[in-house]
Homo-oligomer: A and B are copies of this chain.
């Protein structure tokens, strides 16, 4: 169950495989303008609360978001945010290990949890009558977690096995890790969410408890409730549960170094006999929706959609349909991040096409993009697609909750979420063109080749593909 629980959402950003890439680009996550009448307030102990009404069915999605993710892992303890996410299921003074999960399933509910670079979140979906029960359990483990060595060491083994399965045996995940490490030379976004193997091995109970005490506080959390409830009900129930957790006086500090201005274009290659399909990956260091709050992130979101959003996008059209050099091609942008982030372009070569040849074609296509790709019609189509995609995903209650939770966890406001479709509509051809020229430059880029070798130890000359 753990492996499932920590499935796609957890490792998504870290292993943007080619097919997953698109989804990753998607919904930096906003609701349609004039969408649900979202209410926000704070409890006395500093807990922020967001209520998203959705009265279509008598269910609620209950999420608690903590403003700490893997990029807040103390130095030398990479993976601890994710490890603690596992340990949060190990029981409290009041509820022994398994009691919470048993309660959720006993009530016919679902639960999940995930760790990302900037936040960690826990959620349950239950019938509306059980919201108070979920809050009581979740509030209890905000301060009452019990960890002993008998629990910590075996769970660390679980995480190590998780890393072995996901990364150590998967060349594509290795390429992703190496590319992120190369793109972010200084910022912790270059460190995998799950952590480096040798540092996970060193994590212990003391690390976990210190981390828990530092970050699992009411001031650092955001409660998001979406569903068939009123703000008044939520406030009353939240005060009776979360409201009882003692505040720590201040929100914990996030200490993150800023990435220096990149100067060198970088390339790397992972070659492995297990590779079934060679791929070409490219990352560019770009601002995020927080570092480019002036709207620069909307330009990049739309640019990714125009260039590489699906099979009508420019890259797909050129490389797959017209030139026949690729069987897939696209782009995505991880705008939802506190610090400078990644914009990706990828392509999968057609039979008999080398990665070098494909890369040249990609670069040729990208160079012509400002002149060729940014027609009024293409831009309109991309806007419609991008906004519609988000509207569709808002149709799911848990997606909606997630859109608000992730936005607030990185420091955006409800108003920014609501304004997003309008902001996307406002992007112009000139802004797209300027974003492309400003950010998609060689010095800001890392290019990765995933290739198949017959022999794992054979030297790889990526130039000789």
Q: Residues of A at under 8 Å CB distance from B? A: 75-76, 78, 174-175, 177-179, 181-182, 185-186, 190-191, 196-199, 255-258, 260-271, 356, 359-360, 363, 367, 441-442, 448, 457, 459-464
Known contacts A76-B255, A198-B258; A460 and B265 CB within 8 A of each other: yes
Residue of B177, B264, B363, B463 touching A263 (CB-CB under 8 A): B177
Closest residue of chain B to A266 (Cβ to Cβ) is B268
Nearest-neighbour CB distance to chain B for A74, whole angstroms, equals 9
Q: In the assembly, what is the distance between CA of A186 and CA of B76, in Å?
A: 9
Q: In the assembly, what is the distance between CA of A222 and CA of B462, in Å?
A: 47
Q: In the assembly, what is the distance between CA of A196 and CA of B442, in Å?
A: 20
Nearest-neighbour CB distance to chain B for A24, whole angstroms, equals 20
Residue of B76, B268, B464 touching A256 (CB-CB under 8 A): B76
Q: Do B463 and A174 touch across chains, with their CB atoms under 8 A apart?
A: no
Q: Do B178 and A263 touch across chains, with their CB atoms under 8 A apart?
A: yes
Known contacts A174-B263, A185-B182, A199-B258; A359 and B268 CB within 8 A of each other: no
Q: In the assembly, what is the distance between CA of A198 and CA of B271, in Å?
A: 36
Nearest-neighbour CB distance to chain B for A303, whole angstroms, equals 17
7 residue pairs A–B, Cβ–Cβ below 8 Å: A185-B190, A198-B258, A199-B257, A263-B270, A264-B448, A265-B268, A266-B268
- In the A-B complex, the 4 residue pairs with the smallest Cβ-Cβ separation, listed nearest first, are A178-B264, A181-B185, A267-B267, A266-B268
Closest residue of chain B to A356 (Cβ to Cβ) is B463
Known contacts A265-B462, A459-B367; A257 and B185 CB within 8 A of each other: no
Q: Do A267 and B462 touch across chains, with their CB atoms under 8 A apart?
A: yes
Closest residue of chain B to A459 (Cβ to Cβ) is B442
Which B residues are CB-close (under 8 A) to A268? 264-267
Closest residue of chain B to A461 (Cβ to Cβ) is B363
Residue of B174, B179, B196, B267 touching A186 (CB-CB under 8 A): B196
Q: In the assembly, what is the distance between CA of A177 and CA of B191, in Å?
A: 19
Nearest-neighbour CB distance to chain B for A464, whole angstroms, equals 8
Q: Do B186 and A181 touch across chains, with their CB atoms under 8 A apart?
A: yes
Q: In the assembly, what is the distance between CA of A174 and CA of B263, in Å?
A: 7
Q: Do B264 and A270 touch across chains, with their CB atoms under 8 A apart?
A: yes
Closest residue of chain B to A190 (Cβ to Cβ) is B185
Q: A185-B185, A186-B190, A196-B260 are in contact. List 18 more A-B contacts (CB 8 A).
A: A75-B75, A75-B255, A78-B186, A174-B263, A175-B264, A182-B266, A196-B257, A197-B261, A198-B260, A264-B268, A265-B462, A266-B267, A360-B463, A363-B461, A441-B457, A442-B459, A442-B460, A442-B461
Nearest-neighbour CB distance to chain B for A184, whole angstroms, equals 9
